[in-house]
Structure 1
């Protein structure tokens, strides 16, 4: 007995045993697309025949041949076994590729040539046999009602033609031909639609426009699914699609409320007015990755059946954000026009939950864990409730006493903070954000804490597993005094917080004075539970752990607090899950970050930043963010209290790399640094301006009086506070271009609606939806496979392809070159030097460029930015210089430190030939292409 499954690699329907054995590898045959269990003995037979063809059946040293054959067969078997990780199916051609590769690597060139010629001979024979077979009867498809009808080839071609309309360099006929080649008589209609999508997907690496084709074919599929659920006819053309969309929108609202998936308040809108405002043509903006991501993870569904369409989805989100607006229909349309155009995108929790019965729209929550058992477990409960509704977590653990500290209630000694971190780690795993994505958490600890050395080891794979947190992120919360001691090669003292209770709430000069006083107490024996270490040694261990485990991240306490506009209302004790949020926390207040991102690439016009459009976008986007605060569902009271008092929001950006491509600037250049400066200044100016406009309309936030805003101190001005404290240890550009004097006076006079207005989040998923580069990141690779919770997707840089087409050098050979060099253009001789600079990938850019661009942004931001560090050839010296530079440039936080491995797995999917005009200096045995991008970490997505 067999079942049919779709082979996503080749768009083929194949047969697989109903109960395959766990760990069993299967081989897909050419002849009938069936699969059979992998048999290593067949490899030995093939290799032996190649040797016998050269040396003859009477070879003198047959024993040697058998030994060589066994060795080569073992190598091939090991190589193909990796397919167990991706479904356990390998095509016979891929096994044969490995046989060729093993013969060539071991120097058996004659045998390899014989084997290659034999493969070609067999291929020609199969083609001849195929041509000799007379055409069979017409194919049939099986409809949903089990009726068999002839395949309507003209309708099939019309569907693909429609998907290819207005796209350059795509061939509808090739998709139809490939699809017909890979389907069988009686195929289900739903499987036929999937086969069309797969046929388009396989062509993306050679032409990026096929990503739009695949997306449009996917749209046909999901429209069929949604219309069937809502008892509507599936549209046959664009005209019908527009009419069906209007019906589907109203039907969706009623059905969603009936199923208790949507808020009944949505039915209070003018549904006819809103349905007429929908723009179905905007569905054509989606790439395949973007639309598949929405389908898999965002659309409303009933027991797995998606019945929400893309433009309905955007309108539903915007209706949810306009619920409390006086002119809610007009505002919903205004918000929709912004969102559906991809000019701006809300964060993932907002997209998930807007308009639902529990609209938890906020992205991340920052908590302070108190130093008592009841408080610790109360904080863990809060973590679970916040994570349940798709919130990412940042926990400040500095207050919890260290190992060896006295416990008065039991007259015993504390085990320190680590055992509780283990429980927090397991809580994040257990409560997985409503099943939509993994629970995600980051623990922060200040550098003077006596448990800091154990904290650094939490992510190690060795040691006592009971004192390890393999699933939780960690971050160092570093005071400037430690950095100064480290720079000056002085000693550092570690304390238990129960002995130094005020250090947790102090920063700047006040922290320095208190800390030095406690050091004197330790020296005289008043404080006994302490430890002195050379600051440089602790710093080296921090960097060593970053190199080894990627954690803890490096974040800086003093610039976060000294530049905070809310100094009068509390202390910033940590950042959030993705290190871009810097808000006050306490046992009474859980800070909440409400996020969204401007798509910078949509604001480039005539080779420069379109300031008028950017101002309009920021104004509407900030209103949407402010609405989140009042509409949001709060699962814990401390979060509601904090959010309504201070009303912080975090407007960020994405598509920075796309914008650089559009204006023809290389990331690693002074021009890019200036562009980072000017764009962030504009966003800062318009965001602050928009918040003052809202304050004029709605009133200032409750704790405005006494803030830096109320004193006319804007983010650019707050650098002076840090400079006064840092002295020589701060090197920051302070140039400006806008009329800040006028805005400064308006802020003092009118006030601010929001305590904080800017933060640059990672945008790992929403940038996929919009089809742009994430956040402020450089390009990872120009051709690679992106792996996320929706599957694996081929991604090719469309800007590079367009530039190469202009030079008439984009061809199959260059595609193979890109695969061979892991998406890098640096060693392909045919590509001009200026394009090599423009399309340098992330590990080909010196990390100092990332720091310098980040520093220019940071001067304008009242919170922080998720700034990843990428180091190609990491060394202690290089990592040390990068993080010292980040501190000297006034950065508040850094995020992941990504390093490139010394070698990769062997290449098996790339055709190499003498036509490839590339340098031969690279080791051809240590590369793989396309690679899987490591950046799209599920923990990054917790914010966006």
Structure 2
């Protein structure tokens, strides 16, 4: 085939000797024959950037930039073309680097990276040279064509392995294969088959692992988990231990949820001295400073959500932590406040909003009544709360319910927080309520697992190797850690039950393996992870899924489709976990759980023949994972997958993102005349449809969902309150940010999956 004049011009002016460029340009013309993607447009745009005297590498970068800036709503596929050119440039650099190091194969590259301390030695200790060579045959470079420019540039910039000087030594496909090899390491039967399945789900962008897994799998420090949750006890040692735990988690890239509901309020007694306690705010400020001081692998600031009950006496100050009013000494702008609500609060807000609400100190209640109010939920909590209200020995801070709600909404509109945790809904749906309580969620509000505080038993002096040492003995409590991944709904054939079953089985298996492969920053996390073996299977590309099928967000069709899709995923996840249990055994607390008794299925109305049969299988063979599904936000990983983030509607169909090298166009996935009108801007969507959809999905998610609400200046106090009430009535367990149109909130990449 003859080289066209335009191909020749582009090649001569960029990489004249690069035959791959000609092949790539021809492939682009074949795949995108429409006039708006003609190479003449690329060449003309390129000429506006190129300057005399530019080096060859810089000229090629201008060619890539030209493709990027041609990306518009009318011609969105230029972002795919730009990715092809970027991949070409990257491969050329990678080849040159490998030639210098005399690397000629995947195995030789692994050996080199291991020697350089960039790859974990455990990979080559597990896989023989022959195995690695066979596995390298799985590599499919054609899958690089699935990336758009934004996703590929993010992946190349942040996730592929580079030397200390920033020299790339790993391709995207090798990255996916390396992660797959790590996740399959401990498979004793058909290990190569599982490597293939894990590689396929990742490289086809049908599944994204959480950011820590994507970053750290195959590396020496393999901290693979996203989310940690600690219960802060009401003691000096306990509080500082929790802060220390947060520092260690943050050091290795994890995000944290901290429950402060047990810490005594300001003005309470300490060792009988009235008014001595400084309250929770001073301790939260300590967590705030730790978040700033201990960053996540030097990449970004530490991240922590702090939870407090709506009846805690320090609530008003807590709600002002991030706002711009009040005393700066009571501020903590780098934490994310979240409030835990019982049913009774929302009942009163709905039915008696002119009534009073009583704020009390948990320590005083424990001292006077002999029980911890926060240790119960539902009707028992309501009875005890009302009993405390009547007890004159307990100090009360009385505030009209309307004023409490006004403080919450004012903070939400101004800062996006507090997050919402509906504790009674969460605990009633807890499949492991036979073993404990859930007090709060994590940084991104999707994890809901049993929690309890770490308890120091004693410190004793011993002699070890002739030296006197102090040994601290602690009970590990239940320190929550969860491992996340997301099904990319925009890329899965959801109408094909077999594909949904197969991909879900693969990702549940991979997540279960993470538990045994993980490096834990604190020992308490390891103990709890092995007891419950929790995983958090979520989704991304929700809006992408709807738009591709021509389903309007604000429609009953949306709710019906969400029910069908999440029922399939739910069924597939339970079946996969049961299958692993049959092979490897159940999690330690399976006996007595609602999984085992069957109440889990009955409470959710999962009673048709297929579900009934699955219930019987679970009762007979058990379940490998005590917690299965949790839908996290997927900011960075959804960009890599070329899909929409988590459960969110898009903010814009098309926008320009400012980067250090210029503006980067961002386009809704698969944007076309067919999908255009189904990508309605999040702030233009009636939020009641988002809340109702969340309620529909919640039936099929044993943990929670990271769901945002999008409001505009037209929202009144009553309108926002009605969204909170509707969420509670629909069974929505948590709400993440309230995103006001004028407000920019910080995306969480820690939990990104």
Whether the TM-score (by the shorter chain) exceeds 0.5 is: yes
Q: 1:938 aligns with which of 743, 747, 751?
A: 747
The change in CA–CA distance for 1:696 and 1:380 in structure 2 (over 3 A counts) is same
Asked if the contact 2:231–2:451 (Cα under 8 Å) also holds between the matched residues in 1, the reply is: yes
Q: Which residue of 2 aligns with 1:342?
A: 205
CA distance in 2, matches of 1:736, 1:224: 57
Shift of 1:438: 3.2
Which shows bigger deviation, 759-768 or 787-796? 787-796
| Partner-residue secondary structure (3-state), 1:406 | coil
**What do residues 635-671 of structure 1 show as CA deviations (whole Å, max 9, x unaligned)?**
1011111100000111111112122122211111000
Residue 741 of structure 2 corresponds to residue 879 of structure 1: no
Residue 610 of structure 2 corresponds to residue 757 of structure 1: no
CA distance in 2, matches of 1:193, 1:789: 18
Residue 362 of structure 2 corresponds to residue 497 of structure 1: yes
Q: Which residue of 2 aligns with 1:571?
A: 437
Which shows bigger deviation, 150-159 or 636-645? 150-159
**What do residues 191-240 of structure 1 show as CA deviations (whole Å, max 9, x unaligned)?**
22211110111101141111111111111222233222222699xxxxxx
CA distance in 2, matches of 1:140, 1:556: 61
CA distance in 2, matches of 1:172, 1:140: 14
Shift of 1:154: 8.4
Residue 491 of structure 2 corresponds to residue 602 of structure 1: yes
Asked if the contact 2:633–2:751 (Cα under 8 Å) also holds between the matched residues in 1, the reply is: no
Residue 475 of structure 2 corresponds to residue 586 of structure 1: no
Residue 143 of structure 2 corresponds to residue 282 of structure 1: yes
CA distance in 2, matches of 1:791, 1:580: 35
**What do residues 25-53 of structure 1 show as CA deviations (whole Å, max 9, x unaligned)?**
xxxxxxxxxxxxxxxxxxxxxxxxxxxxx
The change in CA–CA distance for 1:693 and 1:153 in structure 2 (over 3 A counts) is closer
The change in CA–CA distance for 1:891 and 1:437 in structure 2 (over 3 A counts) is same
Alignment of 1:756-775 (within 5 A): 756-775=627-646
| Partner-residue secondary structure (3-state), 1:709 | helix
**What do residues 333-367 of structure 1 show as CA deviations (whole Å, max 9, x unaligned)?**
22101111111111111101111112111110011
The change in CA–CA distance for 1:457 and 1:164 in structure 2 (over 3 A counts) is farther
The change in CA–CA distance for 1:420 and 1:409 in structure 2 (over 3 A counts) is same
Residue 58 of structure 2 corresponds to residue 191 of structure 1: yes
CA distance in 1, matches of 2:622, 2:316: 45
Residue 411 of structure 2 corresponds to residue 545 of structure 1: yes
Shift of 1:164: 5.0
Q: Which residue of 1 aligns with 2:692?
A: 852
Asked if the contact 2:543–2:679 (Cα under 8 Å) also holds between the matched residues in 1, the reply is: no
Q: Which residue of 2 aligns with 1:417?
A: 280
Q: 1:669 aligns with which of 555, 563, 586?
A: 555
CA RMSD of aligned residues (A): 2.5
Q: 2:539 aligns with which of 629, 639, 653?
A: 653
Q: Which residue of 1 aligns with 2:79?
A: 211
Q: Which residue of 2 aligns with 1:364?
A: 227
Shift of 1:179: 2.5
Q: 1:462 aligns with which of 316, 320, 325?
A: 325
The change in CA–CA distance for 1:448 and 1:750 in structure 2 (over 3 A counts) is same
Alignment of 1:690-729 (within 5 A): 690-714=576-600, 717-718=602-603
Q: 2:733 aligns with which of 872, 892, 904?
A: 892
Alignment of 1:740-755 (within 5 A): 740-755=611-626
Residue 31 of structure 2 corresponds to residue 166 of structure 1: yes
Alignment of 1:86-125 (within 5 A): none
**What do residues 585-621 of structure 1 show as CA deviations (whole Å, max 9, x unaligned)?**
11222101111111112233xxx62211101111111
**What do residues 815-845 of structure 1 show as CA deviations (whole Å, max 9, x unaligned)?**
xxxxxxxxxxxxxxxxxxxx64x23221121
The change in CA–CA distance for 1:389 and 1:396 in structure 2 (over 3 A counts) is same
CA distance in 2, matches of 1:306, 1:397: 44
CA distance in 2, matches of 1:871, 1:737: 39
| Partner-residue secondary structure (3-state), 2:305 | strand
Q: Which residue of 1 aligns with 2:174?
A: 312
Shift of 1:476: 0.6
Shift of 1:157: 5.5
Q: 1:616 aligns with which of 502, 505, 516?
A: 502
CA distance in 2, matches of 1:696, 1:786: 49
CA distance in 2, matches of 1:786, 1:895: 24
The change in CA–CA distance for 1:790 and 1:259 in structure 2 (over 3 A counts) is farther
| Partner-residue secondary structure (3-state), 2:306 | strand
CA distance in 1, matches of 2:18, 2:114: 40
Q: 1:784 aligns with which of 655, 669, 673?
A: 655
CA distance in 2, matches of 1:692, 1:399: 36
The change in CA–CA distance for 1:153 and 1:312 in structure 2 (over 3 A counts) is closer
Shift of 1:324: 0.9
Q: Which residue of 2 aligns with 1:506?
A: 376
Q: Which residue of 2 aligns with 1:907?
A: none
The change in CA–CA distance for 1:451 and 1:791 in structure 2 (over 3 A counts) is farther
CA distance in 1, matches of 2:213, 2:638: 15
CA distance in 2, matches of 1:779, 1:938: 14
List gaps (5 residues or longer) in structure 1. 1-137, 142-149, 235-243, 720-733, 805-834, 902-932
CA distance in 2, matches of 1:887, 1:174: 53
CA distance in 2, matches of 1:329, 1:409: 64
Shift of 1:473: 0.9
Asked if the contact 2:227–2:483 (Cα under 8 Å) also holds between the matched residues in 1, the reply is: yes
Report the TM-score when normalising by structure 2. 0.89
**What do residues 517-555 of structure 1 show as CA deviations (whole Å, max 9, x unaligned)?**
222223xxx22x321222232122212221222111222
Asked if the contact 2:50–2:62 (Cα under 8 Å) also holds between the matched residues in 1, the reply is: yes
Shift of 1:410: 7.1
Asked if the contact 2:210–2:751 (Cα under 8 Å) also holds between the matched residues in 1, the reply is: no
List gaps (5 residues or longer) in structure 2. 1-10, 367-371, 454-476
Asked if the contact 1:438–1:938 (Cα under 8 Å) also holds between the matched residues in 2, the reply is: no
Higher relative contact order, structure no. (Cα contacts within 8 Å, ≥ 6 residues apart): 2
**What do residues 95-139 of structure 1 show as CA deviations (whole Å, max 9, x unaligned)?**
xxxxxxxxxxxxxxxxxxxxxxxxxxxxxxxxxxxxxxxxxxx99
**What do residues 645-704 of structure 1 show as CA deviations (whole Å, max 9, x unaligned)?**
000111111112122122211111000011111111111111111111111000000111
Report the TM-score when normalising by structure 1. 0.71
Shift of 1:466: 2.2
**What do residues 150-194 of structure 1 show as CA deviations (whole Å, max 9, x unaligned)?**
966988655544555523432223323433443234422322221
The change in CA–CA distance for 1:857 and 1:139 in structure 2 (over 3 A counts) is closer
Asked if the contact 1:782–1:796 (Cα under 8 Å) also holds between the matched residues in 2, the reply is: yes
Larger Rg: 1
| Partner-residue secondary structure (3-state), 1:404 | coil
| Partner-residue secondary structure (3-state), 2:485 | strand
Q: Which residue of 2 aligns with 1:453?
A: 316
